[in-house]
Amino acid sequence: MVLTEELKGFINTLVKAKKNIRLYPENNPMYQKTLNDVYRHLSDLLHYVDEISLQFKQFEILYDGEVIYRNEDKEESLALFFFKDGVRELTFLRGIPIEEVEDFLRIISTDFERQMVDDDVVTLMWERDFQFIKYVVDDTILVEDETYEEEAVKQVKEAVSDADIMKAYEEAFGLEKTEEVTIVPLTNDDIQSIVQQIEEEEEDRDKSQKLVYLLFEMLTYARGRSEYEEIINLIKEAIRYAVNRGNLETVIYTIKKIETAIKDRTYNEEVNTLLKGVQYFINSNVIISLLGDVLEAGAEFEEEVLEELAELLSKEAIPHMIKVLGELQNISSRKAIIRMLILLGRKDISLLAKGLSDRRWYVVRNIIYIMRQIRDPKGTEYIIPLLRHPDRRVKKEAIIALGELGVSNAVNLLKDALRDGDESVRITAVRAISQLASPLSKKVIMESIKSKDFRERDFQEKKEFFKALARWPDEETIDYFVGLLKKRSFFRRSRLEEMKAAAAYALGIIGCSDALEILNKLRNSKNPLLKENIEFAIARIRDAGGRA
């Protein structure tokens, strides 16, 4: 036997459901929770009996002749709601599916006045053709007060204001995620109100990620392309808003959510196509430019966040990021974009290389630097032509890149730069060639030092070339340096002494103890430059374990 108190509890649940199902949009969290509560309560009751039959009087509901509900309020009485349409008995059968419970709740919660429904409750139940809900109707008895319905509808309309509905949405928005709760689209006005509410949020915390979560849940129950597109557009707006607030975590969450949904086939193909459009939007000039604006305004992000976003972006974002890189004025913001491009550029080196044709030298130099960090050998074919770039800063960056990437023919490519008209380019080239450390590298450097015009170069350049040659501390190299120290000249003596000073410096770098004898002989030279470098060499050799 079903307990009376349990039945009373079920009726109270039904009363609340009648209001909530009408107040909240379909499958709003509160809507879904209400449906689940009614279904669970009814299923528990039917566990004990095969059926539950309720009898209706004007203001009372009875079970087995016992009153389990009484309410004489004409606006709120559940008994009167059924009684006025002639329903005298309502029976629920064991095994009732949740779909029938939901349809039943939607029927009894229908706002007949607002929805201009001409049929009564009985007609709607008849049209639904319930299999697990039976009813007995007596349409010969009229309600004593025939004007109650008009007055009740009027008062209900006054009671349920737009503010009530928005409050319902606000409550739903604040609910925690549960396994039972899912979301479907609200009306366009209601969703726009949520977005506006978030934008006007006075707290510092950005709630856009929660909104995106809700919108994805809505997609599960949306029907038709118009609803899909409406939600997708709102997801895009939420992303735009999040980036503008410096909330990249929401963007990261959205990308991951889309990838998982497509992989797991969470939605149908039509939705998946629209979600791919969201991916395109995230990688578009709109969002990447907005990111640049936020960075330029001084926003600071954890490196891990920028790196994760860069890993998740697609190669389509590369051109837009290069564009932003050329527009940024702040050093820190440029560094942030460069860090992202180092990760993103690996996805398509050829697309990254298009930035090398930019008319702004600093963009080109930065792209070369990015390629250096990526270290993809394919990048060398794009860098080689830049050895003839008109701007020396670009040229030097290209030289460094080719030296670091270790291209097989890099020495032959770089040797022309040893004769460049700009000293800084020549020094950069000799450093790069020496770094390659091949026999050809040594040969090219030695030939350059022995060239006719080399002595006319500044001492610092000579020193760099001799330091580079010292990377090969073999007999030939040492003999050449020692031979220069022993050399005498009566013409252009200052240039020769610069060569000797550079040779002494290089011997010190090598740590050649065999050169100590000639170094000590020149130790008292009257030439300050030569004397300084000889002292340097002797000290280095001593530190290396050589004899004084």
Q: What is the three-state SS of 496-507?
A: HHHHHHHHHHHH
pLDDT tens-digit readout, 217-276: 999 889 899 999 999 999 999 999 999 999 999 999 999 999 999 999 999 999 999 999
* Burial class of residue 391 (count of CB atoms within 10 Å of its CB; 0-12, 13-18, 19+): middle
Question: What is the DSSP secondary-structure string of 404-442?
Answer: HHT-TTHHHHHGGGGG-SSHHHHHHHHHHHHHH--HHHH
pLDDT of 287: 96
pLDDT of 59: 92
pLDDT of 31: 82
pLDDT tens-digit readout, 134-172: 988 875 544 444 444 444 344 434 444 444 434 444 444
Q: Quick check: 205 pLDDT over 60?
A: no
**Contacts of 327-334 spanning 24+ positions with Cβ under 8 A:** 327/292, 328/292, 328/295, 328/296, 329/296, 330/295, 330/296, 330/298, 332/295, 332/300, 333/292, 333/295, 333/296, 334/366
pLDDT tens-digit readout, 321-354: 999 999 999 899 999 999 999 999 999 999 999 9
Percent of the chain with pLDDT over 90: 57
d(CA 287, CA 236): 10
d(CA 277, CA 222): 18
Q: Quick check: 447 pLDDT over 50?
A: yes
4 vs 187, residue with greater confidence? 4
pTM passes above 0.85 = no
**Residue 180: pLDDT band by 50, 70, 90 thresholds?**
very low
Q: Which fold has domain 470-548?
A: Leucine-rich Repeat Variant (1.25.10)
**Residue 320: pLDDT band by 50, 70, 90 thresholds?**
very high
Phi and psi, residue 532, nearest 5°: -60, -45
Domain boundaries, the chain: 4-164, 470-548
d(CA 400, CA 387): 10
Type of residue at 507: L
Measure the N-to-C terminal CA separation of the chain; round to a whole number of Å: 112
**Mean pLDDT, residues 476-493:** 86
pLDDT of 279: 95
pLDDT tens-digit readout, 80-101: 989 988 899 999 998 898 989 9
**Mean pLDDT, residues 117-129:** 74
3-state helix, strand, coil in the chain (%, to 5): 70, 5, 25
pLDDT of 194: 61
**Residue 119: pLDDT band by 50, 70, 90 thresholds?**
low
C-alpha closest to that of 313 among 272, 278, 268:
278
280 vs 115, residue with greater confidence? 280
